[in-house]
Amino acid sequence: MKHHIEGSQAVAHTVALCRPEVMACYPISPQTHIVETLSRKVKAGEIGNCQFLNVESEFGALSVLIGASAMGARTYTATTSQGLLFMAEAVYNAAGLGLPIVMTIANRALGAPINIWNDHSDSMSMRDAGWIQLFAQDNQEAADLHIQAFRLAEELSCPVMVCMDGYILTHAYEVVDLPTQEQVDAYVPAFEPVQVLDPQDPVSIGAMVGPEAFAEVRFLAHHKHVRALEAIPRLSQAFQDIFQRRSGGLMDTYHTDNAETLLLALGSVNGTIKDAVDELRKEGWPVGSIALCAFRPFPSHALRHVVQDAKRIIVFEKDLAVGMGGIVSSDVKMALQGLPIIVDTVIAGLGGRPIPKASVIDTVKQACLEGLEEPHFLDLNWDEINRELTRQQAQRRSGPTAENLLREVGPPGTKPV
């Protein structure tokens, strides 16, 4: 049924319908509304015998799920930003052990400077950990992806992160078609673990592996992701059959046919990008866009197929590989190796900086007419940067960079950003 509902509530409601058995959570903005809602549902007995643990840290939260999952329970948590970094060791461990944990990432920037607003630096920091990473474009998809995530994780015995933009999605009220228990039950079968701690059939899980087999174990983890490339579109189709709407899949394409220039991005900014595409098309620019849903595994093959006739791809990404440039665009370049396609990197939306449609349109025109430097930073305030660089050159003890910049920019709202 359709509800006008906050993104976090929609996700919490949907996760509850997936019948998790153990959840362990630690609060961090902007994830809090999700876990608060789930804790209430558990306490009210709305999720059967589900256990909700208030733990001492994110590292503890994921570690609890590692134990619970190995014991054969369906497990869930949510975090973001510093919380994801704090659990990093367990993030790799859960994937290495092949435990089908589902975790929401309410995407947020990484400090320092501490910043609670949205970008994708947090998920990107864990992109090689072995988790499947799916990015939602809107709150309907955020909710739907969780249903698909439990089935995908358990089918492959591989953990899945569902990434949704912090605040932009988690705190936005939109109309979301919430599924029924019957629909979810029809889609997500009972959890049948591939490995379990069972006194009737004792196994050792997580023991040491030496050089003689480690590479093969890693290859098999990679192979799981290769299988996921087939499973993700199949499960998206199966989802559509039951829920009568399209959600997920490897990617979502918009006016890609006959497009010479394609914009590519992850997450909610695709709404703005689609509007920009509409406007550019009206002006006669042959553009289209791709919303990548699956970032891990990276759908190289499918992407090559979709973009083969394009001349240019402009990747808008909310992250920065400091000292290098784009993270997503690097993967795109790798995927398109050998094709005569220019790939531009546009670093945008860091720490919650808005990505206005006008800036997107200007950047596309600039790229097509003059080309872009690599990487291109969207809407940088060059006056402030140059002032700070000059200050740093003039005096050794130039002070904390962030404070200096803020002093120049002034309190929020006093100057346009």
Partner 1 sequence: MSYQRVKFYQTGTFTVGNRLLDESDRTVQARMDRTNSLNAGHRACQGCGEALGARYALDAVMRATRQQMVAVNATGCLEVFSSPYPESAWQIPWMHSLFGNAPAVASGVAAALRAKGRTDVRVIAQGGDGATVDIGFGCLSGMFERNDDVLYICYDNEAYMNTGVQRSGSTPPRAWTNTTQAVGTNPGNPMGIGKNLPRIAMAHGIPYVATASVADLHDLEAKVTKAMSIRGARYIHIHVPCPLGWKSDPAHTIKVARLAVESGLFPLFEAEGGEVTDRTPIRKKVSVEQYLELQGRFKHLFHPRDERALETIQAIADANIHRYQLLPLKA
Q: Would you tell me which residues interact with partner 1 (CB under 8 A)?
A: 21-22, 24, 49-51, 53-57, 59-61, 63-73, 75, 89-90, 93, 97, 197-199, 202-210, 213
Q: How far apart are CA 245 and CA 231, in angstroms?
A: 18
Smallest Cα–Cα separation from 142: which of 172, 115, 185, 120? Answer: 172
By the 8 A CB rule, do 263 and 277 touch?
Answer: yes
Tokens 């790939």 belong to which residue?
Answer: 343
3 state SS of 357: helix
404: left (phi over 0), alpha (psi -120 to 50) or beta: alpha
Spell out the alpha helix ranges (H) of 7-114: 7-17, 32-43, 58-70, 81-86, 88-96
Rg over CA atoms, the chain = 22
Which two three-digit tokens encode residue 99?
């435990």
- 6 has which bridge partners? 173
- DSSP per position, 46-71: TTTT-EEEE-S-HHHHHHHHHHHHHT
Q: How many CB atoms lie within 10 A of CB 303?
A: 21
Q: Given CA atoms 375, 378, 383, 385 in this order, what sign does their dihedral have?
A: negative
H or E segment to which residue 105 belongs: strand 102-107
Work out the number of other CB atoms within 10 angstroms of the CB of residue 207: 6
Q: Crossing angle of helices 88-96/58-70, nearest 10°?
A: 20
Distance of CA 64 to the CA centre of its chain: 23
Q: Minimal CA–CA distance to 162: which of 124, 133, 138, 183?
A: 133
How far is it, in rounded angstroms, from Cα 191 to Cα 214?
28
At 9, which amino acid appears?
Answer: Q
- Distant-in-sequence, close-in-space partners of 9: CB < 8 Å, separation ≥ 6: 33, 37
Q: Which residue from 247, 97, 95, 228 is spatially nearest to 152, judged by alpha carbons? A: 228
- Residue 116 contacts residue 124 (beta carbons within 8 Å): no
